[in-house]
Amino acid sequence: MSASQSQATGGHSPASASHTGNKAMIVFASTLGTTIEWYDFFLYGVLTPLALNRLFFPNLSPLMGTIAAYTTFAVGFLSRPIGGVIFGHFGDRIGRKTILVMTMLIMGGSTFLIGALPTTAAVGVLAPVLLLCLRVLQGIGIGGEWGGAVLMTIEHASPGKRSLYGSWPQLGVPLGLTLSSAVVGLVNLLPDSAFISWGWRAAFFLSALLVAIGLYVRLKILETPEFERVQREHRIVPVPVKTMFKDFKREVLLTLGARYVEGACFNIFGVFSIYYITHSLHLSSGQALNAVMVSSALMIPFILLAGWLADRFGLRKVFALGTVAIALTTIVSFWAMDKWGAHSYPVVLLSIVVPFSFAYPMVYGPESSLFASQFDAHVRYTGVSFAYQFSGIFASGLTPLIATALIGAGHGKPWLVIAYMLVVSLVSLVSVLLMRGVSKGDPQRA
């Protein structure tokens, strides 16, 4: 190409511009996809203490009904490792893109059907059984989604920008939670009779529109170059999960431990806090939802900032600092809410914002790249999916249940919840410090 042609194109060839545009589409598609998937998944958690406990477990006390509903919430996390292994297997064998389309269809379909379920008043015990089955399907779908979405961006990223690229799909969590909280907050403005009869269903039905948009965008993206290289080099293994446990035992254990603080922090401040604010502090559900929604929105730029910092200073350093920050801010936040929260909503809002918007992104932003760096490309989909989803059982799914039980045991006081989070933080800090700085599975070398 001549100098004049180069200048006319800004110094970049048409092929280079096309490649840059393709990367932008991949980042957008992955972020949009995870936003939709997490909207579907978190919508259940947000609606649990507001409607699902009353509609599907009406014969229990408010506390036991919430615990029963949170138990079905946890089941979604129990089924996520199944989805992670199933779709991780095929993602490592036939490619990332195809699996991402399948997981979105499964997730969106099960969410829509939850909105169409009859309640216990209509069909008796069949209602919670059907709810449980659809929650299992949700978990299987999200179990395969996350690993593929983050790998699509990381494996397309330029050298030195993998953590930043990998942090973009992580935005799906705060965007999904913000969207689900906003939608529920909107329908919660309805009279209680309308909210209970059809308002909560509308929030689930919205998923169908979001999935249609997500599928349209996702079908346009390309397969990752690293998976294509694995294909060319004939390094695809028959059973990726078997190879993972054989060659990456240490990496599996350490990623499971590191994930603990991230999952627990999110579900303490993003899910359980709604119950704590409404039942222990006796504030309105609208105030609780607003606190979560504002915090989720504020964390978005800090997730990207954490990804950028991880590229600059190191994945382990940023993640370790985030773990310490979560432990300290949890102590201060629950102490402040217990002391002043019942009479001062600004204290409650600040107590959710500080740990959730500023401390949490320091672990969640670089998490995808940290996990991807521990596994070679031929088992990476399986590795990151298993680590993230299996740890979700104890780190995420059981946390609202555990925290609700601890609040009950503490007679409404948060000290046992704080103690739980301190133990969780210690486990994750030790795990990340034991990880190799440059592992044999570093994405730059795979």
pTM for the complete prediction? 0.82
Average pLDDT, the chain: 87
Q: What's the confidence (pLDDT) of residue 437?
A: 66
Would you call 339 exposed, middle or buried from its count of C-beta atoms within 10 A (0-12, 13-18, 19+)?
Answer: exposed
Q: What's the confidence (pLDDT) of residue 1?
A: 41
pLDDT in tens, 82-101: 999 999 999 999 988 888 88
> Tokens representing 90?
């095929």
Would you call 52 exposed, middle or buried from its count of C-beta atoms within 10 A (0-12, 13-18, 19+)?
Answer: buried
pLDDT in tens, 259-291: 999 999 999 998 899 889 999 999 998 899 889
Write 312-317 long-range contacts (CB < 8 A, 24+).
314/437, 315/163, 315/366, 315/369, 315/370, 315/373, 316/370, 316/432, 316/433, 316/435, 316/437
Cα gap 247→225, rounded to integer Å:
23
Query: 443 pLDDT exceeds 50?
Result: no
Q: What's the confidence (pLDDT) of residue 444?
A: 45
Cα gap 402→425, rounded to integer Å:
16
Q: Which domains does the chain have, with CATH numbers?
A: 21-222+236-434 (1.20.1250.20)
Torsion angle in degrees (nearest 10) through CA of 67, 386, 218, 297: 50
Exposure string (b/e) for 202-241, b if CB count within 10 Å is 16 or more?
Answer: ebbebbeebbeebbebbeebebbebbeebeeeeeebeebb
